[in-house]
Amino acid sequence: MKKILSVLFLITTFVFAADAELDIVKKSGSIPKIEVSVAPSAMNMPLTKKVAKMIEKDLMVSGHFDVIKASQVVNYNSNPDMLVLSNKGTDLFVNVSSDVSSFGGYSVMIKMYDINAKKMVFNRTFSTSKEDRYPFLAHRIAIRINKHLNAPPIDWMDKFVIFSQYKSAKKADIIIADYTLTFQMPVIRGGLNIFPKWANKKQDSFYYTTYDKGLPTLIKTNIYTRQREVIMKSEGMIVASDVSEDEKKLLITAAPNNQPDIYLYNTINRTKKRLTTYKGIDVGAHFVDNEKRIVFVSDRLKYPNIFAKEIGGRGVERLVYHGNNNSSATTYKDYVVYTSRDRNSEFGHFTFNLYLMSTKSDFLKRLTSNGSNQFPKFSKDGESVIFLKTINNRSSIGIIRLNYSKAFTFPLKNGKIQSIDW
């Protein structure tokens, strides 16, 4: 265990250093090798194998483990062959079993062995009342394994992703899912419902734009109570783009006079303040620099580009100096990830890539290299970015693990994703 902990300690340094430099290449030379096996006595074997595969995927996505193919099938109440595993170079062995109750509940039992210490170090049971939510069961197991080894948190895996999915012309549903899109549940159906944005950290409410008798309307709704609140209406367009840390302020793009501008909305007293007055397009604002400024997209250069301004100030600062179509951005502290339309030199056509920059320095890093990559969103801890990836006209969710220079994609089986949040 000491060997494993010493390796994991090397990868706990945060990606966002004080000098605004970023190193997305992990410094540690090695990470613990882990095997995940399913005990032969497991009930509902097909489902348990799916859980085990999902645990493996989560551990891979975390960047904290080297997942290798399981070489042993071990009875749940027996120990694995430590010598064989040690000779193979395995550090951790996870044995998975399961049980099904007469009430329809499903439980997964986990035992983890430290092969170097030659002992079991983890023994726990995880349960769910609904089998279709097994992805979240697997995510919780991976999070707990990761936490047991004191690795950097991956709690975001157990959170909902929310997205708008086009069904047909002028029809889009709002769906909540796990980050792999394995579990999906529609929460808003009927009509054109787009641009969902979580209203709080609890993820029990969200904002979205719908068209009420043809008029763009910003709605806040609760997933569980179905309580619905109209926030604003606007003749041209209306979109909630960011929520403050205390959840009391909301950045909204609205166009009451067919001119999109940024508004700051107070959710307590329901007042709004116009932040931009440019006679053109200002959209998609996000808080930055301790919420003292905003980053937004504007056509001030006659094409979309990324700008910043102080809340309450008059001056506007251009942030991006390359590309001629930078149409979306997301922020974390003083970092910005934005999209840029680039020419693919190999094939001669254009593609959208994601770039990471700092508002405090001239740091710039390209994060993607193929396909169309748009609408990025930072995770709450700033260590990951979720985005929409389109290849061959097929929508996928992409996740970049900034600390580990790794990216993963999870395709949507049907339809197209319009926008996403997590």
- Enumerate the β-bridge partners of residue 205: 222
Selection from 362, 352, 364 nearest residue 398 by Cα: 352
Average pLDDT over residues 391-412: 90
pLDDT at position 25: 29
Residue 16 lies in a domain: no
- Residue with the bigger pLDDT between 318 and 168: it is 318
Give yes or no: residues 145 and 177 share one domain: no
Mean of pLDDT over the chain: 89
**pLDDT digits over 193-206, tens only?**
999 999 999 999 99
Q: Which helix (H) or strand (E) holds 357?
A: strand 350-358
Buried b or exposed e, range 157-174, using 16+ CB within 10 angstroms: bbbbbbbbbbbeeeebbb
What are the Cα distances from residue 294, in Å, to 12, 290, 306, 313, 331?
30, 10, 10, 11, 9
Is the Cβ–Cβ distance between 320 and 308 less than 8 Å?
no
Residue 26 lies in a domain: no
Split into its structural domains, the chain has a count of 2
User: How many CB atoms are located within 10 Å of the residue 98 CB?
Assistant: 27
4 pLDDT band (50/70/90 cuts)? very low
Average pLDDT over residues 351-368: 92
Residue 411 has pLDDT above 80, yes or no: yes
CA angle 201/206/209 to nearest 5° reads: 150
pLDDT at position 405: 85
Give CA–CA dist 171/300, Å, rounded.
32
- Residue with the bigger pLDDT between 91 and 16: it is 91
Residue 4 lies in a domain: no
Is the Cβ–Cβ distance between 81 and 165 less than 8 Å?
no
Residue 285 has pLDDT above 70, yes or no: yes
Average pLDDT over residues 13-41: 59
Residue 15 has pLDDT above 90, yes or no: no
The domain boundary residue, chosen from 99, 120, 155: 155
Return the percentage of the chain with pLDDT > 70, whole number.
Answer: 91
Give CA–CA dist 124/118, Å, rounded.
19
CATH number at residue 102: 3.40.50.10070
Residue 10 lies in a domain: no
Residue 9 has pLDDT above 50, yes or no: no
Residue 371 lies in a domain: yes
CA angle 278/281/284 to nearest 5° reads: 110
User: How many CB atoms are located within 10 Å of the residue 125 CB?
Assistant: 11
Give yes or no: residues 121 and 189 share one domain: no
266 pLDDT band (50/70/90 cuts)? very high
Give yes or no: residues 74 and 110 share one domain: yes
Give yes or no: residues 135 and 179 share one domain: no
pLDDT at position 65: 96
CATH number at residue 274: 2.120.10.30
Output the six-digit token pair for 288. 């930055």
Give yes or no: residues 142 and 280 share one domain: no
Residue 318 lies in a domain: yes
Give CA–CA dist 388/392, Å, rounded.
13
Is the Cβ–Cβ distance between 305 and 297 less than 8 Å?
yes
- Looking at 43-95, list the stretches that DSSP marks H as alpha helix, in order from N- to C-terminal side: 45-62, 82-88
Which residues lie below 8 Å from residue 408, measured CB to CB, with a gap of 6+? 60, 61, 398, 399, 401
Domain that holds residue 130: 31-155
Give yes or no: residues 115 and 207 share one domain: no
Give CA–CA dist 365/351, Å, rounded.
17
Residue 403 has pLDDT above 90, yes or no: no
CA angle 399/400/404 to nearest 5° reads: 140
pLDDT at position 342: 81
349 pLDDT band (50/70/90 cuts)? low
Residue 2 lies in a domain: no
Give CA–CA dist 172/417, Å, rounded.
9
Tokens 């990761």 -> residue: 146
344 pLDDT band (50/70/90 cuts)? low
Give yes or no: residues 133 and 200 share one domain: no
Is the Cβ–Cβ distance between 378 and 329 less than 8 Å?
no
Average pLDDT over residues 55-63: 97
Output the six-digit token pair for 335. 């970092």
**pLDDT digits over 152-191, tens only?**
999 999 999 999 999 888 899 999 999 999 999 999 999 9
Give yes or no: residues 374 and 326 share one domain: yes
Residue 29 has pLDDT above 70, yes or no: no
Give yes or no: residues 116 and 187 share one domain: no
Give yes or no: residues 236 and 266 share one domain: yes
Give yes or no: residues 133 and 167 share one domain: no
The domain boundary residue, chosen from 132, 155, 178: 155
Residue 199 lies in a domain: yes
The domain boundary residue, chosen from 155, 180, 211: 155
Residue 324 has pLDDT above 80, yes or no: yes
Q: Which of 67-76, 97-106, 156-165, 370-379 has the lowest mean pLDDT?
A: 97-106
**pLDDT digits over 229-263, tens only?**
999 999 889 999 999 999 999 999 999 888 899 99
Give yes or no: residues 172 and 147 share one domain: no
Average pLDDT over residues 41-70: 96
